């Protein structure tokens, strides 16, 4: 009498079906995770310029711009490029200075390719009519879907 060895075809088909279902759920979630991590680079690059923008604004009363004479030491937009971010543009009109990161069109998740992430500063003292030098409040907006944004920007 010989014992049966191995798996039956039905058992193998069940395992393949289970793996297929898990992959169908996991792959899109992984793509979302990748897009969020790439947008986090944009948030990091823009956040790094907040201090320079506030400093220049409080000294001059005007929003700094990339590489201009009153730029406050802020370099050209392409100087702040990252692996997934093409440029970081600083500008705006007082009292609403902006820092905007433009995502690359290639070598980035297709869900966020070409999208922007914008930090906008509002001078609370200027809003109250007391001039510059008050507390600054930053708001985050983006052309990307909210599901791809870092938690601090949703």
- Delineate the domains of the chain, giving CATH numbers in brackets: 9-153 (3.30.700.10)
Inform me whether the pLDDT recorded for 43 exceeds 80: yes
Mean pLDDT of the chain: 88
Task: Retrieve residue 96's tokens.
Answer: 């609403």
CB-based contacts of 110, cutoff 8 Å, min separation 6: none
CA atoms of 6 and 11, how far apart (whole Å): 10
pLDDT digit string (tens) for 46-63? 998 999 898 888 888 888
**Percentage of the chain surpassing pLDDT 90?**
58
Q: 4 falls in which pLDDT band (50, 70, 90)?
A: confident
- Band of residue 133 on the pLDDT scale cut at 50, 70, 90: low
Tokens linked to 109? 């998740």
Per-residue pLDDT of 87-119, as tens digits, reads: 999 998 888 899 999 999 999 999 999 999 999
Q: How far is CA 77 from CA 4, 71, 91, in A?
A: 69, 12, 10
Query: What average pLDDT does range 67-86 have in this prediction?
Result: 82
E strands, the chain, where?
85-93, 96-103, 116-123, 136-142
Tens digit of each residue's pLDDT (9 = 90 or more) over 21-33: 999 999 989 999 9
């Amino acid at each position: 009498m010989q014992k049966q060895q191995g798996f039956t075809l039905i058992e193998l088909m069940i395992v393949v079906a289970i793996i297929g279902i898990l992959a169908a759920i996991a792959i899109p979630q992984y793509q979302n995770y990748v897009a969020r991590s790439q947008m986090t680079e944009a948030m990091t690059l823009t956040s790094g310029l907040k201090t320079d923008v506030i400093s220049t604004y409080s000294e001059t009363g005007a929003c700094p711009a990339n590489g201009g004479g009153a730029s406050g030491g802020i370099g050209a937009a392409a100087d702040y490029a990252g692996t997934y971010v093409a440029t970081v543009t600083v500008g705006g009109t007082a009292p609403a200075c902006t820092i905007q990161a433009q995502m690359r069109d290639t070598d980035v998740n297709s869900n966020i390719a070409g999208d922007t992430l914008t930090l906008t500063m509002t001078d609370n003292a200027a809003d109250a009519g007391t001039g510059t030098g008050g507390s600054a409040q930053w708001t985050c907006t983006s052309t990307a879907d909210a599901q791809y944004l870092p938690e601090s920007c949703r």
